[in-house]
Structure 1
Amino acid sequence: MHKVAEPTARYAAAPEPAPERHVRLFRNGANQAVRIPKEFELPGSDALMWREGDRLIIEAVKPQHPKGSPAPLLAALDEMAKLGPIDDEFPDFDAGLLPLDDIDLERD
């Protein structure tokens, strides 16, 4: 009998989607609206919406950090740490070039 490997965190299955719910559409001024049930609630206060055929897709927007915030850099460093060490040698860009002349930094 073949043994199937357990899913790793990187390839683990997405969480079970919430069961579908029948919702009613209503008017809010000139706009059509829908109440989003608690189990479909999105985080934050902004979302993106688009159409794919007969489907209406609403997706949460990731929060924007203030300019100069270290949060995006820290998130990128966390993602790079998950990659682990790189075994490749750093390329020698100077190979084949003539040596540089000495520079005299003393002023007379």
Structure 2
Amino acid sequence: MKVSWNTSKAKEAVRQGGEKGLAAGAQLAFEASQNEVPVDTAQLKQSGKVLVKGKRATISYGAGLPDQRAVIVHEKLDLQHHTGTAKYLEVPVVASAQRVFQAIADGIRRKLR
């Protein structure tokens, strides 16, 4: 049996699969954070966004909201919330890490088939 290896094709498959997996993983982490965002007027929750560009994914909250509201709500542990909690992004992202890594690995695996 003859086996041939195309390094450039394999590298490209890993890049593409990794980026696709990263996008899927970022969406998983974002969805987990949406369950934890405090809801008063729903503006904070609605401001949540996922941006994936190449090998970088960003989850953000607060664009368009006044006075650093997203940061204040996230960081002030002494604020009381009827729905949701402080650290609404940090805790779910850390808790989702294994699922994100698995999504990246799955994306690569699919591209290498």
- TM bracket, shorter-chain basis: under 0.3
Return the TM-score normalized by structure 1: 0.23
Instruction: Tell me: higher relative CO, structure 1 or 2? Use CA pairs within 8 A at least 6 residues apart.
Output: 2
Whose helix proportion is higher, 1 or 2?
2
Q: Which has the larger radius of gyration?
A: 1
Return the TM-score normalized by structure 2: 0.22
